[in-house]
Amino acid sequence: MLFRSFQANQLCKMLGCKKLTHDGQEGYCSQDCLENHWRIKRKEDRRGGGAECSRSGCNKLSWNGHASGIWCSTACQIATPQSFEATNFHKRYESSKAFESTDQVWAGISTVLRCLYLAEGRDEREVGQFVLRLKTAVREVGVKPEMAHSLDSPALVAVICWTCSEVDSEDREWCSYLQQAVRLDLDECMQAVAEIWRTMNQHIVTRKDSTPVVWPVSNILHRGSRLPEQHVQWFRDAARDRLIYRNKMAISTTKIRSKVTSFMKNWGYPKEEPEVHWKFSLDPAEKCVHVNCLEDVTLMADEAASRHKLECLDRKSVV
């Protein structure tokens, strides 16, 4: 009787959960606790050698506790110069191919989201919900009549998702997750990231060959975003010293200055950080050879947006 009484009061094995198990035996109180505990253990099992921050003198664990995290924070990443050729993105991009079907596009998007969600300790079931909203947005997109037949094109679907304003439970768009994966250079999902950009760059090549970009008369492109306070001084110093550096992501810009305020307030991330208005001065004659105008497919009303081609981000830019 004493043995049975003990068995009937077994607590859930999930850390912090004080509920009784569902059957009185050793185990968990629910399927959610089971899955969450497995996820934690999987992360712990993958930790070990090489999981420390790569910045010299910093002995912290990488941001996700894995060797693939490389750095413990954005601050350490910025303080550690890295050439384009040394990135996981470059290595994967060189050998990757564009997706051949829209199903592959959706699978790639799901892979990237799942990787980032799990790294942040979030429920990966949210991935399916967010992808479903993106699929609905693609079906309802209004493009020019001559492009309507292309909605089954992997390149066009990938680009439409990139411009989509649909957000997940954290109020973030798909493009912000793709940018995050590139900035963190996550090898865990970099194959999917590289294939997504290979696919999007097909659209860029097509646009370059068929329709010229309408450049702003002022030769200035604008971007509104938010910038964490701890990084402001770095950019001030870079501007003062005319530092040449590589920006580790694609750059979304607009010709319409008035759109900047709206974008930084409504779509800038993280929400609690200061707003910033970036201005990109183009050479009056040379312009920019790796820009693509997505005005005909953007899901942001009247955005008149230009997107830099990630494939060429090894080129140096001056602040």
Average pLDDT, integer, range 37-46:
59
The label of the residue with tokens 């998007």 reads 109
Average pLDDT, integer, range 120-125:
85
- With a cut of 80, say whether residue 54 has pLDDT above it: no
Average pLDDT, integer, range 81-94:
82
The tokens of 290 are what?
């790796």
Q: What average pLDDT does the structure give for the chain?
A: 77
Confidence grade of residue 42 (pLDDT, cut at 50, 70, 90): low
Average pLDDT, integer, range 59-75:
71
Confidence grade of residue 67 (pLDDT, cut at 50, 70, 90): low
More confident residue, 236 or 311: 236
Per-residue pLDDT, 117: 92
Confidence grade of residue 52 (pLDDT, cut at 50, 70, 90): confident
Q: Are 110 and 102 in contact (CB under 8 A)?
A: no
- With a cut of 90, say whether residue 174 has pLDDT above it: yes
Confidence grade of residue 82 (pLDDT, cut at 50, 70, 90): low
More confident residue, 1 or 76: 76
pLDDT > 90 fraction of the chain, expressed in percent and rounded: 22
Confidence grade of residue 307 (pLDDT, cut at 50, 70, 90): very low
The tokens of 142 are what?
């209004």
Per-residue pLDDT, 148: 58
Domain extents in the chain = 6-46, 67-210, 220-318
Per-residue pLDDT, 68: 58
Give the highest mean pLDDT range of 62-71, 100-109, 301-310.
Answer: 100-109
More confident residue, 110 or 18: 110
The tokens of 6 are what?
């003990």
Full-model pTM = 0.66
Count of CB atoms within 10 A of residue 274's CB? 11
Q: What is the sign, positive or negative, of the torsion defined by CA atoms of 27, 32, 38, 40?
A: negative
The tokens of 285 are what?
């004659």
Average pLDDT, integer, range 213-222:
87
Average pLDDT, integer, range 258-282:
85
Per-residue pLDDT, 123: 87
Q: Are 59 and 214 in contact (CB under 8 A)?
A: no
Per-residue pLDDT, 18: 80
- With a cut of 70, say whether residue 319 has pLDDT above it: no
How far apart, in whole angstroms, are the C-alpha atoms of residue 77 and residue 85? Answer: 16
Closest CA to 72 of 59, 61, 57: 61
The tokens of 133 are what?
């909203």
Classified as helix, coil or strand, 167 is strand
Per-residue pLDDT, 300: 45
How do residues 243-252 score in pLDDT, each as one tens digit?
A: 887 778 888 8
- With a cut of 60, say whether residue 161 has pLDDT above it: yes
Q: Are 159 and 98 in contact (CB under 8 A)?
A: no
Residues 6+ apart with CB under 8 A from 265: 224, 275
